[in-house]
Structure formats: C-alpha cells, structure tokens
Structure 1
Amino acid sequence: MKLTFCGAAGTTTGSKHLITVNGQRILLDCGLYQGRRQEAFERNRDFPFDPAKIDVVVLSHAHIDHSGNLPHLCKRGFNGNIFATPATRDLCSIMLPDAAHIHESDINWLNRHRKNDKLPLLEASYTMADAERCMRQFVSVGYHRPMLIADGVTLTFIDAGHVLGSAQVILDINDRETGRKSRLLFSGDIGRPNNDLLSDPEPSEKVDYIIMESTYGGRHHELATDSNEHICRIIRQILQQKGKLIIPAFAVERTQQLLYTLDQLRHEGCFPLIPTFVDSPLAVKATEIFRLHVDELKPTVREAAFMRTDPFGFEGLALVRDVNESKNLNKLKGAAVIISASGMAETGRILHHLRNNISNPHNTVLFVGYCAEHTLGWKLREGHKHVNILGDEFEVKADIEILDSFSGHADHNELLQWFDHVQGPKSNVFLVHGEPERSQALKVALDAKHSESKVQVAVMNQAVEL
C-alpha cells in the first residue's frame, strides 16, 4: 500500500491524499487550495495524478478546502463513486455550485486584468453545470455503516464533530500484495468537544496508521465562558457607538452556531435586541439543511427544533437573499450585526461589507474562525493597517477582534486528547492540514507523549510505502 500526499501538506487547504492498494487508487478528499488568487488558480488547475485513473473518492466533509475541486476532478475524467455521509452530500449540493460560481467570477476578474496587460485569457477549470453533474456520483453512507468500496478495502464513517455530517474515515485494508491487514484512520477535520450544536468527535480502535489534521497545533482557543462575555462586550460597545459589527463567517456550521449563541445570550440578558442580518444566500440554504438533519445535532438543539422554537431564528433576525436587499444594508443607520460569507473574507458579499465599513472607527470586525495565510481575513487578523479590497486600498480604522473559541477545529490540547482516544498500535502518524510551524508544534508534543508512534509532518507529493 502506498500513500501519497497531494494537498494540505505544509498548508491548511486543498486536502487530497491518495492511497494505492490492490491495483486501485482511492482519493481521500479533493479540496480547493485557498490563498493568493493567481497561485490558487494554478494549484487547483493541475492535479499531480490522472483524474481518470482514480477509482473512488472518500469525502470527509463538505467544506470547500476538502470538497471544492470534485467538479474539476469529474470533468477531467473521474467517473467513480464519491462516498460521503448524507448530510455532507446535501451540503455539497449547495456548496459546490456556489464554489463554481465564485471560481467563474474569479476567472473573469483575472481575465479583465490579463486583457489590460495583453496576456492570454484563462478558462475556468469547471462551471456550475459541472458541479451539478458531479453530484450524480455521490453515494451516501451513514455513520457506523461499513461498506466495501474497493477490492480489499472497507470504509466506515464515524463522527468528527467538526461540521454537520463531518466524518473521520476508517479504512480496513487487506493488502493482497503483502498479505497484511491494517486499519488506516483519516481524521478529516477534528471538531471541538462540547460544541453547542454537534456531538463530540468519536473515539476509534485498532488503528495502525493515522493521517491527522494539525491546524491549531501549538495554539489554544479561548474558553467558552470568556468568549460569551467577549461577544456581549463587543455588542454592547456597538450599541453605544451606533456602529456595525461585521462578522465574516463560513456559511456552513459557523453561521448556524453564531445564530444559536446570539439567541441564547440575548435570552440570558447579555445584551438588548439588536438588528441582525445573515447576508449569505448559501448560509440561508445551509441553515435549511441543518433543520433537515436536526437528528444529527445535540439533544438540546433537537428539543429546540421540535418542542419550542427555531434554534436558528430569533426576533430581530433577517435572512438576506436578494442582491438589492444586501446593498441596502450599506444604508443602515444605527447599530447592527451583519454576518456574511466567506469566513476568510476572500470572496462573497462580505467583501462589500468590509469595503463599506473597514475605515469607520465606530465599527468592529469580528473573526470567529481560521483564515489561511495571505487571505484578506489573515491580513486583518495579523494587524495590517492598509488592505486591498476589490481592487482598491482601504485604511483599517475599525476595531479588529478575534474569537477562536468558535473555531470548528480542535486546538492543541484537544488534538492531543483526540489522539489519546485513538486506540491501537498507531505505528505511523502523518500530520497534514496545518502551516509548517503548527504541524511541527503538534509533532513535538506527540513525540513527547507517544514515543511508541512514529510521527511525521507530511510533505507535498511525498509518497510512503506502508
């Protein structure tokens, strides 16, 4: 069996890991690389393997850095099954066409500049139609339902607690060439314990090899009690200053968790009623899918859905779909909260809200999740005083606040705790989905605590025989 790291090695985006066994090629995830526009286009355009020779894809969850290049893979000749949980399949049905729309818009933006510079024009790698066709290849598999997906390879999904439908991938492999049987665990993205909406990541057993995310290696999130007071303080300040609170948030899971938390805090008397807007058509659609799969959420959320009120709706909340309604938010007078995608502030309506509000000292921009290096969100989090938004430079005068307790990723200690709960030899561990310093920090901690495991930081295009 050979394992090749084709993405999210030395970086946090573009998850792709290729397993070759028994003459078959199994691809774990097929995500988009996110970063500088030109670099992202080039990385996402080229695969380090022939898509037509991939036999099967196993998808850990719906986030675009794990699923977003599937339409391109299918367009380039992959015609096998894409195995995912039912909720992941439903989320992909809205997220992949949305990502395709953004990709086409980005290509149009690049081409306008290339035309001015008299450079050859670029062609979109895939379209919304390609994304919709790709969905026909999805096969839904529930948690704890073992399924033979290739010769000698059985797949089992268990809950990762990261986002609705997210899964850890267990592959039980019978290597015909060596006659050895082994179990490989791909963590996907590991969620945090005690999430308001989702169940905790599940433990696994008899694991020989691990491909493990390391996004927050060496970093620790704010405590939940501190984060609640942090939010209340920000909103009270916004009300006093009659400013805007702009929250770049991923349309899936982060937005729904924010809505749930804001509702809870307001009922606790943390702050008075404040007009709140979710300005993301994708987030609105994703919220409907959360309601559809409410049985996969925590009992408290299910109770709210079935017995009391909508867990993702409250007085003063407006869900914005129409473009003109979105533009009208620029004319708002007085205090308001605007939640908009994308979470890294690279695409979508959030760019227009930042463009119109970033230079007002009465406003606050609150980041509630990870931002990949070189994205606009990363620059704001890092304290850049001038940023480029949609082609123009703006001075940053708004307050920039960071609240990583809302992150869907386990922090350093939670990653170690997750690893402790994985039972079995764990002889080889490969750290992926992390910036180099994050992966290295986690490696040092794992080496100190689990000397019986050989821990390596995966390198892009590295091939390992197991």
Structure 2
Amino acid sequence: MPADIDNAPKLVMIKKTVCSSHCGGPMKITFHGAARTVTGSQHLIEVNDKVIMLDCGLYQGKRKESFERNRSELANRATIDCLILSHAHIDHSGRIPRLVKNGFSGDIYCTSATRDLCAVMLMDSAFIQENDVKFVNKRRKKRGQRVFEPLYTKTDVADAMKQFVGLSYNRTHQLFPGVDLTLIDAGHMLGSAYVILDIDDRDTGKKRRLVFSGDIGRPDIPIIRDPVPLTAGADILIMESTYGNRLHADYQESEQELARIVNETVKRGGSLLIPAFAVGRTQQLVYALHKLFNDRAIPDLPIFVDSPLATRTTDIFRLHPEVYDAEIREFLLSDDDNNPFGFGRLQYTQTVEQSKALNSLRVPSIIISASGMLEGGRILHHLRNRIADPRNTILITSWQAPNTLGRRLVELEKTVHIYGEDFPVRAKIEVMTGLSGHADQKGLLEFVRVMQKKPERTFIVHGEDESSETLAGLLRKELGLDNISIPSTLQSFTL
C-alpha cells in the first residue's frame, strides 16, 4: 500500500487483450507480468480456442505503481479457462484471489505442496491487504476523500482455494483435448515445478512442447531435491533470468560465511537481524544454523523465528518429506532433535507480545523475520530498534526488488525511512547470495544445455534488463539459440 496514497495515479483499466469469446487462429502468448522485471509473473497462452494463464503473481516495487498495477484489469477474466501455478511465492501466486474475485471460475493446477502453502500464504497476504487499507482509509475519511477497498479479503482467498487442483510430479493430466500438462520438480522451493504443455495445435497442425520454467532451482542446496534436468527439451521455452548475469558462491562457503557473520556480531555485543521470506529462505537459515550450532561453529545464543507465516509454513514443510533430499533425510536419522527446523536454542514466536519482548533483549541474539524485502511485517519493528546501533548486523540473503527498503540497504544508503521516521544506518550491512534458491548464470545455461531438442523460440522473463540481456547473449553465443525475445509488458507473440 502506498505510503502517500493520495498522490497515487488514477487506476488505469488496460485494454483487454483477450477476445470476449475464444478466438481461433495460431497459438499466441501475451506477457502480462515479470516482463523486464522480477515480479508479478503472469503470462497467457491462447491455443485451440482456450486461454491458459501461467502464474498470477503480485507486482512488487514502487508502492504507488504496485497499488495501481495490482488492481489493473490485465486480462478478460471471463475468458480464461484455467490457471497453472509454478510455485507458491507471492510474486507468482499473490493475485489469484483477485482473479477469482473478478470472475475467474476455472481450475488452478499446481502441486499438492504448492496448494498447501498457498492456503496459508494467500490468507496472510489478505490479512496484510485488509490492514493496510484500513490504515490508509482512516486518514482518507478524516480528509473527506474516497476510501479504498483491499486488493482482496480473506473471504476471497477462501473462495479461491476451492478452485485449486493438486497434481503429483511427473503425472500427465489432460487440460483440454490437444493440451496435456505435466509438472516436473524445479528444485526451487517446496512444491515448485516446471510447467510442460504438450500441445496439438489444431489450427496449424503442429505438435509442440511448451516449457515454462517458473523459477529454476539450484543443485546441491539442502532440504529439497535438486531440479530435474529437462533432457528431452522444448519447442517453445519461457524461462526466468533472475541471476542471468551473476554467479553464486558455493553453498558450503555460504554456511561458513554465515558462521563468520554470527561470530563477528556476537563479538561486538550485537544482534543479527535477518529479513527472510517465510517460505524457503527461513527454513534454509534455520537448518544452516542448526548444523552450525551442532558443530559448535557458532556460540550458544538465543535464536528466534519471529514470523507467524514462517511458523505455519514450516509446519507444511514437515508434512511433505517426499520432497526432501538425501542430506536432510540423513540429518533426521543422526540428529538428536530429529527436527531440521527446530533445536534447543531456537524459538518460534507466536504472539505480538512475544515479538515485542524481543526489542528489550540486552544480550546478543539472532532474529529471523519477514518480510524478505523489508516492505512490511515484524522485521520493520526490529529494524527500527536496532538499525542505528553499530554493534548490530543486518544480513540480506535474497534478491531485493528495486525501490524496496531491502534494496536501499543493499545500496548502502545512509538514512532510511521506517514507519514515517528517518533512521541513520549504523548497523553493519552484510549481503549473501549463496543461499539463494534461484539458479545462477551457470545453472540457467545448464538448464538449456542439457536439452536434446533446443527450443525454436525462447522468451526470457523474470529478470532485470541487464540479467535478461546477458543471459540471452550467452544462449546465442554458447548454445546457438537464435530466436530469443525479451518481451515487454503486454507484448504478444503469434507462434
């Protein structure tokens, strides 16, 4: 929600790009989100008189722009036949309740783990939407201005969850005659999937395989299995490019770096604040700290996970051991706690009172809290209490969208704005990308390199311009792909 909503531009109703009744003709792809940016994933496939949506994510960025774009009509909802969700992260799933609220009544296909995660993540998102609007509307009412409605409510989420259909990996499901869906383990987070559509295009007579990568995972990181290589290949490829211009540090080196940061912070007498996404990154951090504690690589100090959503999603992780990799299964057999997401020094806070009590701690501690980009949530309260103390450390472990508070910290701004006040940044800022669940440049290239059939058309999405352009250039140079596009928002392609 914009901090100064009164200056937000008027909501724009974008011209519909889908026919009011399903149109015939060749296959068409229209990119409605995550086009030249890393947020708001949403793409439409039109084929065989059907319209298929890939992802329906929340746009995150400048608050005024986010407010407008997340409320814009990006497609004619009445003509969408089904939605396929690659994974549960909010930038891929966060607008689904809005879609349903606006009249979409089709099935939403995803893995069972993704469905379970969405049940809690979207409800949490609705809670935030409702509270943010309530806060803004208090001021608007006093000024006699028009009040706003939340993007969606908890009731809208409950309605949307009725349309979810959980599918297992590697089990082909017919969406419509001539269109089959298969979900393959992407190794990015719990339940993440590559989307494979095998299409018999009746208008052209061609049989083509379309692959949508969602977010591509990394091999050799703990908890979930490695991404499955798509050796058969694709005719049409839509792939992410988040880290198309970067290489990650080795994961084991990152664990050692985490130990260094903890130890240096404790030596200064400070506390370590880690803003972390509630799904995936929080569980990774807890597991890494658990191992470091067992190995006596870090001191005995209190560790808190202060995020109700992280607590609920961690419970869902425990319900899906079928996606665990060999390392964590071995850990379960050898660890005295028999719980990779909990150990003696770790506490999951439940209540607001418990969260507030952390601000009065006078001993070194570790606090992991949402949100991962510091755009809301309990982490902001801890930040405003600790950011001005040079003994403390703020550890950034994930990609930060432009114009977010997290990005401003990464860019080492000297002063930041939190809850209407300016605070000097005196705490030490550390950045680690080695824990990322995204493939780096090498991993993205390998994703395509192993394909026996190289794509005839490739679309690069989910990346800032530099990342996307760099990846496209390497795909041309190293792998010989010559028909690559980096689409802009609302750009369509006929295939």
Q: Which runs of 5 or more residues in structure 2 are unaligned?
A: 1-26
Partner of 2:223: 197
Contact kept? 2:44, 2:52, Cα under 8 Å: yes
Question: CA–CA distance in 2 between the matches of 1:452 and 1:331?
Answer: 57
With structure 1 as the length reference, what TM-score do the two structures score? 0.97
Shift of 1:304: 3.4
Letter in 2 for 1:14: G
CA 114–449 in structure 1, closer or farther in 2 if over 3 Å, else same: farther
| Counterpart secondary structure, 2:156 | helix
Q: Does 1:159 align with 2:178?
A: no
Structure 1 residues 262-301: aligned runs within 5 Å: 262-301=289-328
Question: CA–CA distance in 2 between the matches of 1:225 and 1:82?
Answer: 37
Q: Does 1:397 align with 2:423?
A: no
Partner of 2:206: 180
Q: Which deviations, in whole Å up to 9, do the C-alpha atoms of 1:188-240 show, x marking residues without a partner? A: 00111111112111122141010000001111212223322211111111221
Shift of 1:306: 5.8
**Residue among 106, 110, 113 paired with 1:84:** 110
Partner of 1:460: 489
Contact kept? 1:426, 1:453, Cα under 8 Å: no
Number of residue pairs the alignment of both structures matches: 466
Partner of 2:132: 106
Letter in 2 for 1:298: D
Partner of 1:316: 345
| Counterpart secondary structure, 1:262 | helix
Question: CA–CA distance in 1 between the matches of 2:420 and 2:391?
Answer: 24
Partner of 2:15: none
Partner of 2:19: none
| Counterpart secondary structure, 2:434 | helix
Partner of 2:288: 261
Shift of 1:391: 1.5
Question: CA–CA distance in 1 between the matches of 2:476 and 2:334?
Answer: 48
Question: CA–CA distance in 1 between the matches of 2:377 and 2:321?
Answer: 27
Q: Which deviations, in whole Å up to 9, do the C-alpha atoms of 1:346-384 show, x marking residues without a partner? A: 111111111111111110000111111111111111111
Q: Which deviations, in whole Å up to 9, do the C-alpha atoms of 1:311-343 show, x marking residues without a partner? A: 111111000010100000000111000000111
Partner of 1:249: 276
Shift of 1:424: 1.2
CA 3–81 in structure 1, closer or farther in 2 if over 3 Å, else same: same
CA 231–441 in structure 1, closer or farther in 2 if over 3 Å, else same: same
Q: Does 1:420 align with 2:420?
A: no
CA 117–230 in structure 1, closer or farther in 2 if over 3 Å, else same: farther
Q: Does 1:349 align with 2:349?
A: no
Taking only aligned residues, the RMSD between alpha carbons, in angstroms, comes to 1.3
Letter in 1 for 2:470: A
Shift of 1:118: 5.1
Partner of 1:363: 392
Structure 1 residues 43-58: aligned runs within 5 Å: 43-58=69-84
Question: CA–CA distance in 2 between the matches of 1:452 and 1:381?
Answer: 34
Partner of 1:135: 161
Partner of 2:23: none
Contact kept? 1:294, 1:301, Cα under 8 Å: no
Question: CA–CA distance in 2 between the matches of 1:114 and 1:243?
Answer: 41
Partner of 2:123: 97
Question: CA–CA distance in 1 between the matches of 2:236 and 2:346?
Answer: 46
Contact kept? 1:294, 1:305, Cα under 8 Å: no
| Counterpart secondary structure, 1:343 | coil
Question: CA–CA distance in 2 between the matches of 1:116 and 1:240?
Answer: 50
| Counterpart secondary structure, 1:352 | helix
CA 359–115 in structure 1, closer or farther in 2 if over 3 Å, else same: farther
Partner of 1:228: 255
Partner of 2:5: none
| Counterpart secondary structure, 2:218 | coil
Contact kept? 2:475, 2:481, Cα under 8 Å: no
Q: Does 1:208 align with 2:235?
A: yes
Identity, in percent, stands at: 49
CA 139–359 in structure 1, closer or farther in 2 if over 3 Å, else same: same
Letter in 2 for 1:128: K
Question: CA–CA distance in 1 between the matches of 2:418 and 2:452?
Answer: 47
Shift of 1:61: 0.2
With structure 2 as the length reference, what TM-score do the two structures score? 0.92
